[in-house]
Each structure stands twice: as structure tokens, then as C-alpha cells.
Amino acid sequence: MYRTIILCGLLGCLMVLPAAAQGLFATGFEPPTYNAGESISGVDGWALLSGSAGQAVIQSTYVHSGTQALGIQQPPTGGTSAVALVHDFATWSNGVLVVQFWAMPADNTDATGAWIAVEQDRSTSKRSALFGFRSGVLAYNNGAGWVNSTTPYNLGEWYKLTGVLNYDTRKWDFYVNDVLFASNLGFYHSAHTAANNIRFYKGTNNVGMAVDDLQIIPEPSSLIVLLSGMLGAAGWLRRRV
Ligand SMILES: [Ca+2]
């Protein structure tokens, strides 16, 4: 009976796997979940850890797809404070995780920048990958610290930023507009053993960025490994029941 219950649980997991294959979290910031003109704070699992609610709003002025996108003080509203906006997702600790979004930078002078961090437990000392815009150039961490590249970005232009994080090797690759930009980068903090949240951040006085089409998705091969492991366990249980 006990093993039957476990087997049913595993089969239940298999049935929901197609949903997991679509991603740990994805949004285009569209209605009806998101409403233009309103703060994103408290909506659909988003939490504003610093800054004011008016600095993280759903807007329809700068949009990559659909009719709405997230504005992290873009267009400028609500003050100049630093903004930290987080969203949690199911813990990911093995295989490859892809974190991807489109962003339109609005500031090319501020050194603190506007970027994303892949974190564990919303901790600023448990980060794996960071990437985005700083001081007018595309920037990322290499495991030892921030690296400001020599590649400038254009204000008002949309960029597809992708981090491909390998939790088996603790290395990650940074892609810009689907082109490999920097590879074999180390995870930022040794204390980061698993990912379970992202953080969008912009520094004080940074004008910020618009963000659209966010996806946090396990790489297909990682899902296949997960699926085969679950099938193997199910088969083992079936033989034993
Ligand atoms: Ca959108």
C-alpha cells in the first residue's frame, strides 16, 4: 500500500511535468494578471524589497511584446531610490537553468547599473549569475566580481539577455541577443548551492530599464534527466509493489 501511494505520487509528478517544461516562471506582464499604471509590488508573487511602489510599475509606453511591460523606473516615476524587486520560483540545484528576459536600458552613466541577479533565499550573499547594464556597457560577473565589458548599449533599444547556468559545473554563460557574449563564468558566491529567486535591481539615481518576456526555464536535457530518473524510480517501484 505504502509503495502504491509513492508510485501514484510519482505518476502524478509525471503528469504535471509538461507544465514544468514550460518553465519555473514566465511572464510577459500582460493583462489581466498585470494592469498598466499599477505597481507590480504584491502582484503575481513579486515583492519589492527596496524602493517605492511607484518605481516598479506596469506600463504600456515601452513594450517588447504584447501591450504591457514592467518599468523599473522606466518611464521615470516615483523617486530616485535604489529598487530591488524579487520573484521566487521552485528550487533548482542540478542541471542547466536558463534565465532570460528582454530589457530596454534608460541610463548609460550610472556605475551601479540596472541588472538581474539569480539568487538563493533572496540573499545578496548567495548569488550565482548577475548580468545587465552598467556605466554604458554590458556587464556580468565572472565569479570574482563584476566585469564591465567594452561593448556599449544603446538607450531605448531592446536587448535579449540570457544566462545559461549549469548547476553541475557551477559555471554559466552569458548571451546577448542569442549570441554568446561571455562563457565559462564562475558562480558569484560559494554559498549559492541552488537557485530559487531572481532579483531585478537598479541603483540610486539610475533611470532604470523596461523589462518584458521574462522566462526561467530548465534546459530540455535537464528535464530529460529528471524525467528518466522519475521513470526509473516508477519502474523500480512497480516491480517491487
Ligand atoms: Ca509584454
Task: Give the pLDDT confidence score for residue 229 in this predicted structure.
Answer: 64
Task: Give the pLDDT confidence score for residue 4 in this predicted structure.
Answer: 47
Domain for residue 230, yes or no? no
Domain for residue 191, yes or no? yes
The CATH number given to whatever domain includes residue 45 is 2.60.120.200
What residue numbers bound the domain in which 167 lies? 23-219
Domain for residue 16, yes or no? no
Report the distance separating Cα 104 and Cα 221, nearest Å.
31
Domain for residue 225, yes or no? no
Domain for residue 56, yes or no? yes
Task: Give the pLDDT confidence score for residue 45 in this predicted structure.
Answer: 98
- Would you say the C-alpha torsion 159, 148, 113, 122 has a positive or negative sign? positive
Span from the CA of 27 to the centroid of ligand 1 (angstroms): 8
| Cβ atoms 45, 34 nearer than 8 A | no
Span from the CA of 162 to the centroid of ligand 1 (angstroms): 17
Task: Give the pLDDT confidence score for residue 238 in this predicted structure.
Answer: 56
Mean pLDDT by 10 residues, the chain (241 residues): 46 46 87 97 98 95 98 79 97 96 96 97 98 98 97 97 97 98 98 98 95 94 65 58 49
Report the distance separating Cα 17 and Cα 159, nearest Å.
30
| Cβ atoms 206, 71 nearer than 8 A | no
Task: Give the pLDDT confidence score for residue 80 in this predicted structure.
Answer: 86
Domain for residue 162, yes or no? yes
Domain for residue 6, yes or no? no
Span from the CA of 218 to the centroid of ligand 1 (angstroms): 22
Query: Taking Cα atoms as reference points, which of 182, 198, 187, 99 lies closest to residue 148?
Result: 182
Task: Give the pLDDT confidence score for residue 11 in this predicted structure.
Answer: 42
Task: Give the pLDDT confidence score for residue 98 in this predicted structure.
Answer: 97
Domain for residue 232, yes or no? no
Count of domains forming the chain? 1
Span from the CA of 227 to the centroid of ligand 1 (angstroms): 31
Span from the CA of 145 to the centroid of ligand 1 (angstroms): 32
